[in-house]
Amino acid sequence: MKYLYALFLLGVFSLLLSCGPSVKPADKVILGGTIYTVNDDQPIVEAVVITGDKIEFTGKETEARKYIGANTEVIDLEGKTMTPGFIEGHGHFMGVGYNELNLDLMYVKSYEELVDKVKEAVVKVQPGQWVIGRGWHQDKWDVKPGKMIKGFQTHHLLSEASPNNPVYLYHASGHAAMANAKAMEVAGVNQLSVEVLKEYSEEGGEIIRDEMGNPTGIFNERAMGIISRHIQQDENSQAVEALTLAIQACWRNGITSFHDAGVSRESIELFKQFKNEGKLGVRLYVMLSGWDSKSMHEWFSKGPEIDPDNLLTIRSVKLNCDGALGSRGAWLLEPYTDRPDFFGMATFPMDSVLSVSRQALKSGFQVCSHAIGDRANQEILNRYEQAINENPGVKDHRFRIEHAQHLHPDDIPRFGQLGVIPAMQAIHMSSDRPWAIERLGEKRIVEGAYMWQSLLKSGAVVVNGTDAPVEPLNPIPSFYASVSRKTLAGEPEGGFEPEEKMTRAQALRSYTLDAAYGAFEEKVKGSIEKGKLADLVVFTGNIMEADEMDILKAEVAMTIVGGKIVYRK
C-alpha cells in the first residue's frame, strides 16, 4: 500500500513539474507577428507580455499564453511587424503642433503656389491680423522665381497678395523667414534702418538687401527677431491646442518619446500641467534653450529634473551655434560654392559654448549644440574637448552635436574618441542632398556630408530623427533614407555615397535604443526586454525585410505607450 501511495505522489509531483510554475495573468499578451526587440541576446521573438506599464516577458508564444487570464487582452498582430516605440531624437514639439495650426508650406512647388496659399489664408483672418506659416524651401521648388537675390526670392509678389495683413513665413529650416511689406512696415524695417541692419548683422544675422539697399523681405538667422518680436503673443488656449495636436501627431506616427530641442520656460510649465493632469501621453526629454541664459543658469544651480515616471525629464541644454544649409547660414571652413563671398555664420559665441560646457559638466547637464557646417562642428568639438579634459571626473557626459551634417574628414573620428553623440536626421540627406552639392561642391559632399557609417565605425552612437516640423514627423521616410541614401522618389540608383548607408539593424537601433542612450534612458526603454517600459509600435509592413521602396509603404497600425494603446489605424 505504501508503495502504491509513493508512486501516486511521484506521479502528481511529475505532473506539476511538467506544467511549470503558475504565473499571474498579465494585462496584455501580444502575438501573431514578427517582433524585433533591438536586444542582441534575443533579436526576434514571437510574443510580448505586458503588466502595468512594463514588459513582463518576451519569447515563445507557447510560454506567453501561460499569462493569459480571464481579463487579459490578447492582441493578435495578424502578421504585422512590431518594434520598440520610435524615439524622435531631435524635433520641436510645440512646433509640430503649431505647424498644424498655421499655414503649412512644406509641399509648395513654386513661389506662385506659396502666394496662392497666402491669398487663401488672408480672406479667413481679420484686417491687420498676422498670417504665419512655415515650410517653404526655394531650392525644392520646381520653378525658380525670375528674380532672386543671394539665392532667395523677393517679397514683392507676396506683398501684392496681402497689402493690409502682415505676413511672416518661416523657411523649412527655421533659420530664415520671409516678410511682406506690411510686416516690415510694422517692424520699422526700411532702406534707412541702418542701425538695425548693422546690429543684427553683427549678432549673427543677415537682412538680405537688393542693389539699392532695400530689404528684399528675407531675414536670415538672428535677424528673424526683427520681425518676430512684433507678432502678437499666442493665447494660452492656442498653446494648449498646439500641445494636444503634437501629442496626437506622435501617436499617429509611432513616436512614443521625443527629444525636444530648445524649449521655453512657458512650454516647460505647460508640459508639467499636462503631466499632472495625466494628458502628456508622450515621453519628453527636454533641452533648455541656450538663448534664455537666466533660465539656463537657474537650472544649473538647482540641477537636473529626472522624472521617476519617465514622462518629463529636464537635464540638457540646446545651444544654436550656426544656421542651416538651405539659408546659407551653416558656418563653413571654406566659402559656399554658390556664394563665394560667404562662409555662413556663428550664431552663438564659441566662448559661451566653452563656458556653458564647463558649467554643465559640473552641474550634471548634457550640452546639445546645433551645428550643421564643418567649421561649426570643428569649433564645438574643440570647446567640448577642452571642457571635458578640464573635468576628468565626469565619466559619462554624453555631450551631443545636433545635426552634424557636414564635417571636415579630420573631425569624424573625434566623435567616437570624445564620446560625443551626433544626433542626425537621415531624412535631411534625402531631401537636401540633391541641391546641397550646389552649396558645398562635390569634394566636400563626398568627404564629409551625412557620414553615418563613418561615424558609427569611429565608435560614435548615432541618434536619428526628423527635426520636425522642419521635415514631416513620420519616421518611416527617415528610416528609408538611412538604409538607402536615396530621395523618396528612389533616386539615384544605388544611393548617394552608398558606402555611408546604415544597415537596417543600425537604422532601427538609431531610432530606438541608441536614441534612448542619447537621453541617458537606455536602461528603461528603447528595446523590448523584461522590465523595460512597454512602449511599442506596430507597422503594417516589415521594414526590416521589405524591398527598399516598399519600406515607404509601411504605415503605423498601432502605438502603445506605457502598456496603453493610444492609437489604432
Q: pLDDT averaged over the chain? A: 92
Q: Indicate the residue among 228, 247, 278 that finishes a domain.
A: 228
pTM of the model: 0.86
The domain tally of the chain equals 2
61 and 162 share one domain: no
pLDDT band at 233 (very low <50, low <70, confident <90, very high): low
Whether the per-residue pLDDT at 14 is higher than 70: the answer is no
133 and 165 share one domain: yes
Q: Residue 339 and residue 335: Cα distance in Å, rounded?
A: 7
Inter-axis angle of helices 350-363 and 293-302, nearest 10: 20
For 333-348, the pLDDT digits (tens) are 999 999 999 999 999 9
119 and 164 share one domain: yes
**What's the pLDDT at 193?**
58
pLDDT band at 19 (very low <50, low <70, confident <90, very high): very low
123 and 224 share one domain: yes
Q: Residue 67 and residue 244: Cα distance in Å, rounded?
A: 35
Which residue reads 564643418 in cell numbers? Answer: 374
Q: Indicate the residue among 194, 228, 262 that finishes a domain.
A: 228
Which residue reads 498655421 in cell numbers? Answer: 102
* Gyration radius (Cα) of the chain, Å: 26
109 and 219 share one domain: yes
**What's the pLDDT at 207?**
87
CATH number at 123 reads: 3.10.310.70
CA-wise closest residue to 512 among 44, 45, 87, 82 = 87
Whether the per-residue pLDDT at 386 is higher than 90: the answer is yes
Q: Indicate the residue among 228, 244, 276 that finishes a domain.
A: 228
280 in any annotated domain: no
Exposure string of 411-435, with b = 16+ CB inside 10 Å and e = fewer, is bbebbbebbbbbbbbbbbbbbbbbe
Q: Give the C-alpha distances (Å, rounded to integers) separating 1 from 6, 15, 165, 278, 372.
A: 9, 21, 102, 65, 86
pLDDT band at 203 (very low <50, low <70, confident <90, very high): low
Q: Give the C-alpha distances (Å, rounded to integers) separating 241 from 246, 270, 290.
A: 9, 11, 26
**What's the pLDDT at 12?**
45
367 in any annotated domain: no
Q: Residue 254 and residue 83: Cα distance in Å, rounded?
A: 10
370 in any annotated domain: no
pLDDT band at 106 (very low <50, low <70, confident <90, very high): confident
**What's the pLDDT at 16?**
42
402 in any annotated domain: no
Whether the per-residue pLDDT at 20 is higher than 60: the answer is no
CATH number at 563 reads: 2.30.40.10
Q: Give the C-alpha distances (Å, rounded to integers) separating 470 from 134, 218, 425, 431, 475.
A: 9, 18, 10, 11, 13
Q: Residue 405 and residue 421: Cα distance in Å, rounded?
A: 13
71 and 130 share one domain: no
540 in any annotated domain: yes
Query: Cβ of 568: how many Cβ atoms within 10 Å?
Result: 11
**H helix or E strand, kind and range, residue 187:** helix 181-187
439 in any annotated domain: no
223 and 98 share one domain: yes
For 437-466, the pLDDT digits (tens) are 999 999 999 999 999 999 999 999 999 999
44 and 108 share one domain: no
For 90-105, the pLDDT digits (tens) are 999 999 999 888 888 9
* Domain extent for 203: 93-228
For 234-251, the pLDDT digits (tens) are 556 789 999 999 999 999
Whether the per-residue pLDDT at 508 is higher than 70: the answer is yes
**What's the pLDDT at 188?**
87
98 and 222 share one domain: yes
271 in any annotated domain: no
151 and 213 share one domain: yes
157 in any annotated domain: yes
104 and 222 share one domain: yes
211 and 104 share one domain: yes
CB 305 within 8 A of CB 353: no
Give SS3 for 438.
Answer: helix
Size of the chain in residues: 569
